[in-house]
Amino acid sequence: MDSVPQTPDPQTRNAVTARITAHVTAGWPRLGEPLIRHRGQYCYVAALLPGHREPAPILRLRYQGSADTWTIGIYKASTGQYTESELPGSFGSVTGTPEQGIDETFILYAGPRTGN
């Protein structure tokens, strides 16, 4: 039995970065391009929210072996940490595509989608 790779390969990281950038700039164009960084099995997404001088952390995705399957973690400003267990229950599963992670977390920090 093959085990799940612990970290995404460079092609997966590049593809996911492009997907996240496209999804955020299409749905929340007023925020501009998100700041995306990869570290180990994680992909961190921040954006320049209205009224902020620096990009604010919003989302952390944890790789699950596929470019389409990540565990979704939201940044909690109250604790300064990411959590995968405290998304509102109405959002459903804590795993999904990068786009689902963006949709489930950006609405809480940046409001509803305003673009396509």
2 within domain boundaries: no
Task: Evaluate whether residue 3 is within a structural domain.
Answer: no
Number of domains in the chain: 1
Q: How many CB atoms lie within 10 A of CB 88?
A: 10
Predicted TM-score of the model (pTM): 0.89
The pLDDT tens digits of the residues spanning 71-105 come to: 999 999 899 999 887 665 555 568 899 999 999 89
Asked whether residue 5 is assigned to any structural domain, the reply reads: no
Domain assignment present for 106: yes
Q: Is residue 53 domain-resident? A: yes
Query: Phi, psi (5° rounding) for residue 102?
Result: -65, -50
Angle between helices 10-27 and 98-110 (to 10 degrees): 40
